[in-house]
Chain A
Amino acid sequence: MNFVACVKRVPDTASKIRVGPDGRTMDPAGVTYVVNPYDEFAVEECLRLKEKVGGTVTVLTVGPADSSKELRHCLAMGADRAVLVKDDQLQRDPLSTAMALAEALKQIPHDVVFFGKQAVDHDNAQVGLLVATLLDLPAVAEVVKVELGSGTATVQREAEGKIEVFELPVPCVLTAQKGLNEPRYASLKGIMAAKSKKLDELAVAPGEVRIEVLKMEPPSARPEGKIVGEGAAAVPALVKLLREDAKVL
């Protein structure tokens, strides 16, 4: 089976994000990048499915040339091949990204296309499902368990107070929720092996960007807290404030 994990390079979640001088983009100075953590679940699940049923795992990304580092990380984890759709556009909206990925996927054999449920930079949570729509594939979002049958996938999703179980035909699109698996470390041998794996660049016409970011600004600073006293003696005053000022009790 052909598994494709679509990944995105995102700022390390520990990075301090600053707004750039144009007031519309992130200042890239001092920012380090990683594979979007939800996408790592997708890569890991593809590797596990491949280990069970055989096949190949391809990782695919749309991003700047430097994304090769994140692709190499996925190859070091065990993916067989990486495909980079080079894109230097700083502002891309979910649909235009999905169009580029869908075009690329037309040239990459795929039975299961796995995404993270969302990227932790913009948190749109759209691209996986948009790609499914563009390719006319069935999709389930936020899966926590996957089993492959003959020509079908049975997946579970955690919903409010229940677990939903779906069966869908392959090819299909799935997006990964936390809890699906524990991603492996790239082994050092894996890093060496990744050097000789194929990292192809694919040129596809990117979709038109139709959503424009007008402004980016840091959230306003939180108002300073108030200390009402110490120990048990302070409890009545605290309760009073919670009830009357904050109105949470």
Chain B
Amino acid sequence: MSSEYRGVDFYAIDDLLTEEQRLVRDTVRDFVSEQVCPIIAEHARAGTFPHDLTPKMGEINVFGANLPEEYGCAGLDNISYGLIMQELERGDSGVRSFASVQGALVMYPIFKFGTEAQKRKWLPQLAKGSAIGCFGLTEPDHGSDPAGMTTRATRKGAGWVVHGNKMWITNGTLADVAVVWAQTEDGIQGFLLEKGMKGFSAPEMKGKLSLRASVTSELVMDHVEVPEENRLPNVKGLKGPLSCLTQARYGIAWGAVGAAQGVFDEAVNYAKSRIQFGKPIASFQLNQRKFADMVTEITKAQLVVWRLGKLKDDGKMTPQQVSLAKRNNVKIALDAARTCREILGANGILDEYTAMRHAANLESVHTYEGTYEIHTLVLGAAVTGIDAYR
């Protein structure tokens, strides 16, 4: 199989990839060209998630692809995992977000902090896509400041009662299992809330102008009784959820590169065939400057995530390094999407083209999973040793 789309590889970064990593990338690239690109604009317009994709993505093992095979996952290295996110986001940030949440925010904490029974119960179904998960950390009044969360879990008999509200939860309404973080007398802990538990509901949030092909929800927990066996026993404190976010942000940094490459490819093709003043608009210096800037930023972003992947595989990656990659790559992708929309002129505002959808999506990605500003301050603190926001 082959697709017209080739990505951007100005610096022969392909040569840094193993044969297996290239195969992974090409497989997901073909999948996205054939299964995502033809249907995604319609879903974005309707504001619906393409449910048909879930089992198909499960079949080719994209969910939690860097987790071990014994739990039904693909057991890939982290660069392969990143390449999967890159290609998915070339299709749509909403599809990549779905996979990020499923893998990095649900499967990862169950794998890392769960009991063997929790892993056996959930990971294989989540890997297949026969179960869907979501991650509840953010609250209406606590976004960048998760430590202030008001959701509480209190002991009742042998189990727990979880009470509170979460907001901006990707996949919430669809989820069979929610990893919910709550304050306890022992600090913040994670609980697995299951669909159908009494007092637990997840209404969908409407009116989004971004990530329209993705479901975003509130989680409403009205004194939900949760058995002890649903508590994630192996972590306490904010480092639990924050370590999940590090995993997800790692994928986002890769995903943004995919969105940037996608819009760039579209704009180059458009500019070469769009004739004004008797010649292709690609021949105009103002557009060439835009392409030169974009190909430079995309190349830098590619090298950043490749190196980050190496560090992650070597067990040396720090959250601050992830902040740098997430902050930079989403910003350059957002800028590229806006620039490409501009190059496409009026056509750029149509959903027949991808630039405006990506630009709108990336507005969310720019501020979710740590806003641009918070990552700026993380880097500021890393450089100076002084926290600006505490």
Q: Give A residues with C-beta under 8 Å from B.
A: 12-14, 32, 34, 37, 40, 68-69, 72-73, 76, 183, 185-189, 191-192, 194-195
Report which of B1, B5, B69 forms a contact with A37, defined as CB distance below 8 A.
B1
From residue A105, how far is it (CB to closest CB) to chain B in Å? 26
Say yes or no: A188 contacts B6, CB within 8 Å. Answer: no
Question: How many residue pairs, one in A and one in B, have C-beta atoms under 8 Å apart?
Answer: 68
In this assembly, does B31 line the interface, its C-beta being within 8 Å of a C-beta of chain A?
yes
Say yes or no: A191 contacts B20, CB within 8 Å. Answer: yes
Q: Could you say which residues of chain B place their CB within 8 Å of the CB of A183?
A: 1
Bound-complex Cα distance A188 to B58 (A): 10
In this assembly, does B145 line the interface, its C-beta being within 8 Å of a C-beta of chain A?
no
In this assembly, does B22 line the interface, its C-beta being within 8 Å of a C-beta of chain A?
yes
From residue A14, how far is it (CB to closest CB) to chain B in Å? 4
Bound-complex Cα distance A189 to B28 (A): 13
From residue A82, how far is it (CB to closest CB) to chain B in Å? 13
Q: Sample 19 A-B pairs with CB under 8 A, ordered by A number.
A: A12-B2, A13-B2, A14-B3, A14-B4, A34-B1, A40-B1, A69-B22, A183-B1, A185-B30, A185-B31, A186-B23, A186-B60, A187-B59, A188-B27, A188-B28, A188-B62, A191-B24, A191-B74, A194-B20
Say yes or no: B2 contacts A188, CB within 8 Å. Answer: no
From residue A71, how far is it (CB to closest CB) to chain B in Å? 10
Say yes or no: A189 contacts B61, CB within 8 Å. Answer: yes
4 residue pairs, one from A and one from B, having the closest CB atoms: A188-B61, A188-B74, A12-B2, A14-B4
From residue B259, how far is it (CB to closest CB) to chain A in Å? 21
In this assembly, does B75 line the interface, its C-beta being within 8 Å of a C-beta of chain A?
yes
Q: Could you say which residues of chain A place their CB within 8 Å of the CB of B24?
A: 188, 191
Known A-B contacts: A40-B1, A187-B27, A188-B65. Give 18 more (CB < 8 A): A14-B5, A34-B2, A69-B19, A69-B22, A76-B23, A76-B27, A185-B1, A186-B23, A186-B27, A188-B60, A188-B74, A189-B61, A189-B69, A189-B74, A192-B69, A192-B74, A192-B75, A192-B76
From residue A13, how far is it (CB to closest CB) to chain B in Å? 5
Bound-complex Cα distance A194 to B306 (A): 23
From residue A198, how far is it (CB to closest CB) to chain B in Å? 15
Bound-complex Cα distance A37 to B27 (A): 14
B62-79: which have CB < 8 Å to A?
Answer: 62, 65, 69, 74-76
B1-58: which have CB < 8 Å to A?
Answer: 1-6, 19-20, 22-24, 26-28, 30-31
Bound-complex Cα distance A181 to B84 (A): 26
Q: Could you say which residues of chain B place their CB within 8 Å of the CB of A68?
A: 19
In this assembly, does B93 line the interface, its C-beta being within 8 Å of a C-beta of chain A?
no
In this assembly, does B80 line the interface, its C-beta being within 8 Å of a C-beta of chain A?
yes
Q: Could you say which residues of chain B place their CB within 8 Å of the CB of A186?
A: 23, 27, 60
Bound-complex Cα distance A57 to B1 (A): 19
Q: Could you say which residues of chain B place their CB within 8 Å of the CB of A192?
A: 20, 69, 74-76
* Closest A residue, CB atoms, query B30: A185
Q: Give B residues with C-beta under 8 Å from A.
A: 1-6, 19-20, 22-24, 26-28, 30-31, 59-62, 65, 69, 74-76, 80, 84
Say yes or no: A72 contacts B74, CB within 8 Å. Answer: no
Q: Could you say which residues of chain B place their CB within 8 Å of the CB of A34?
A: 1-2
Say yes or no: B74 contacts A14, CB within 8 Å. Answer: no
* Closest B residue, CB atoms, query A69: B19
From residue A76, how far is it (CB to closest CB) to chain B in Å? 6
Say yes or no: A185 contacts B19, CB within 8 Å. Answer: no
Bound-complex Cα distance A247 to B387 (A): 80
- Given A14-B2, A192-B74: A187 and B61 interface contact (C-beta under 8 Å): yes
- Given A34-B1, A187-B61, A188-B80: A195 and B20 interface contact (C-beta under 8 Å): yes
Q: Could you say which residues of chain A place their CB within 8 Å of the CB of B75?
A: 189, 192
Q: Could you say which residues of chain A place their CB within 8 Å of the CB of B19?
A: 68-69, 72
From residue A222, how far is it (CB to closest CB) to chain B in Å? 15
Q: Could you say which residues of chain B place their CB within 8 Å of the CB of A69?
A: 19, 22-23
From residue A61, how far is it (CB to closest CB) to chain B in Å? 15
Say yes or no: B60 contacts A187, CB within 8 Å. Answer: yes
Say yes or no: A32 contacts B6, CB within 8 Å. Answer: yes
Q: Could you say which residues of chain A place their CB within 8 Å of the CB of B26?
A: 73
Say yes or no: B2 contacts A191, CB within 8 Å. Answer: no
* Closest B residue, CB atoms, query A186: B27
Bound-complex Cα distance A37 to B30 (A): 13
Bound-complex Cα distance A34 to B28 (A): 14
- Given A68-B19, A76-B27: A188 and B84 interface contact (C-beta under 8 Å): yes
From residue A146, how far is it (CB to closest CB) to chain B in Å? 21
- The CB with the most chain A CB atoms within 10 A, among B23, B30, B74, is that of B23
From residue A179, how far is it (CB to closest CB) to chain B in Å? 16
Bound-complex Cα distance A72 to B23 (A): 8
Q: Could you say which residues of chain A place their CB within 8 Å of the CB of B59?
A: 185, 187
Q: Could you say which residues of chain A place their CB within 8 Å of the CB of B61?
A: 187-189
Bound-complex Cα distance A120 to B258 (A): 29
From residue B302, how far is it (CB to closest CB) to chain A in Å? 17
Bound-complex Cα distance A195 to B24 (A): 12
Say yes or no: B2 contacts A72, CB within 8 Å. Answer: no
From residue B196, how far is it (CB to closest CB) to chain A in Å? 31
Q: Could you say which residues of chain A place their CB within 8 Å of the CB of B30?
A: 185
Say yes or no: A72 contacts B1, CB within 8 Å. Answer: no
Q: Could you say which residues of chain A place their CB within 8 Å of the CB of B5?
A: 14
* Closest A residue, CB atoms, query B76: A188
